[in-house]
Structure formats: C-alpha cells, structure tokens
Chains A and B, each alone.
Chain A
Amino acid sequence: GDSVTQMEGPVTLSEEAFLTINCTYTATGYPSLFWYVQYPGEGLQLLLKATKADDKGSNKGFEATYRKETTSFHLEKGSVQVSDSAVYFCALSDQSTDKLIFGTGTRLQVFP
C-alpha cells in the first residue's frame, strides 16, 4: 500500500542554518503531497502542498518540490528561526482513497 518515509529526528540546528528534512513516498497512483507542522501543544497545520509532479509548494520560507522521478518531497528552508521548532509531518493523499497517510514526523529543534 501507499506509504511515506521521512528522516528520523530530532534535527538540531542553530538559528539561520539551512534546513532539509527528507521525505520519500510509495504510491500506486498520482498522489498529492503535503507537509504539516505541529507546534508544541497544538494541532496539525498545513504548511505547504503540491498536487502534481514538478510543482513546488512554498510557505513562510519553506519549500518542497514534488519529484516524481525520485518519489521525493523534501522540505527545505534557507534560514531557520527558533520559532520554527516543531514536529514536521510529510503526508500524501490519493484521490481514490481520500485519506492522508503520514510519515512518522521529524522533530526540529532550533537554538539561538
């Protein structure tokens, strides 16, 4: 079945460092891909999405490009802030099944 694999955490960075969180997926169809963020004590917030190959999702300085050839959707940010500390979830949905399949989440800790 469909699945999402993302890098283990925690990822620990200093403020202004470059961030990459890897995400790869397995899907039989043509899924939409998402990154969700969960700040401490809060719910899931959609960070960005891409619905077809080569689409780039972006929001709040974060970017991810839907790469069909490598089945990847890596999250990047050029300069992280302490306020970016959170758990980041990669997820996919397939129109035929209409549910989100999440990765295990990657905790990001940014220190001043």
Chain B
Amino acid sequence: EPEVTQTPSHQVTQMGQEVILRCVPISNHLYFYWYRQILGQKVEFLVSFYNNEISEKSEIFDDQFSVERPDGSNFTLKIRSTKLEDSAMYFCASSEAKGGIRGYTFGSGTRLTVV
C-alpha cells in the first residue's frame, strides 16, 4: 500500500536554530498538508499546499514557518529560529482529491524536540 514517508523520525535542535522536516507524499497525490500534535493535545492543521502554492494556513503558521516542494517528490516544512513551544510531533499528509473525499494519508511523523 502506498505510504507517505517522513524523515527524520526524531530531531533534536537547539532553540533559535532552523530545522527542515521532510516528507515524500504518495506519488499520484496532488494535495499536501502539514499538521502538528503537541504532546497530549489534539492534532492541529498548519498548512495545505496545492499546485506549488499554499492553499490555506492556520494562525499557527506564521512567518517562522515555510513550505516548499523543491522537486517532484519532496515536500518540506522549514521552521526558522525554533522556540521551545515548537516541540511537537509534525505530521505530513497527502490526498488525491480536495476535501478528503478519498481520504488523507498521513506519514508516521517527525518528533521535534527543541532544547
């Protein structure tokens, strides 16, 4: 079964550093997403991406965050100048169709720890 692949699975970074979280969506999917889950809390939407541009972003997704699809397969989330409160599990997802009618497929997540 096709998978969404995320790397690394765990990243530890110092406060103030930049991190890049990587995702390889399912190859025939056109819609890409990032979500995050702070430990013990609900999963929150960050951003959706289609046709090489951001479709929608939440209020969490401020200027500290950016997304990019640098080539035909990768989808990245960059966090500039990380803060302690950025520590969370970050999930990438992809979908064949808008609105999830055919479902969203999530990766296994990257656990980001900011120290």
Contacts and interface: CB of A to CB of B under 8 A. Distances in A.
B25 interface: no
Nearest to A93: B100
Contacts of A97: 56, 99
B106 A45 contact: yes
B99 A43 contact: no
Contact of A44 (B41, B55, B106): B106
Contacts of A103: 42
Most A CB within 10 A of own CB, among B45, B56, B95, B99: B99
B56 to A, nearest CB: 6
B33 interface: yes
A99 B36 CA distance: 13
Contact of B42 (A46, A49, A98, A105): A105
A101 B108 CA distance: 19
Interface residues of A, number: 25
Chain B interface size band reads: 20 to 34
Interface in B76-115: 91, 93, 95, 98-101, 103-109
A55 B44 CA distance: 26
B9 to A, nearest CB: 10
Given A42-B108, A43-B108, A97-B56, A102 B43 contact: yes
A98 B56 contact: yes
B95 to A, nearest CB: 8
Interface of A: 32, 34, 36, 42-46, 49, 51, 89, 91, 93-105
Interface of B: 6, 31, 33, 35, 41-45, 48, 55-56, 58, 91, 93, 95, 98-101, 103-109
20 contacts: A32-B100, A34-B100, A42-B108, A43-B6, A44-B106, A45-B106, A46-B104, A49-B103, A51-B101, A94-B99, A98-B48, A98-B95, A98-B98, A98-B100, A100-B104, A102-B42, A102-B44, A104-B41, A105-B42, A105-B43
Given A46-B103, A46-B105, A49-B103, 11 more contacts: A49-B100, A95-B98, A97-B99, A99-B45, A99-B58, A100-B35, A100-B45, A102-B42, A102-B43, A102-B44, A105-B42
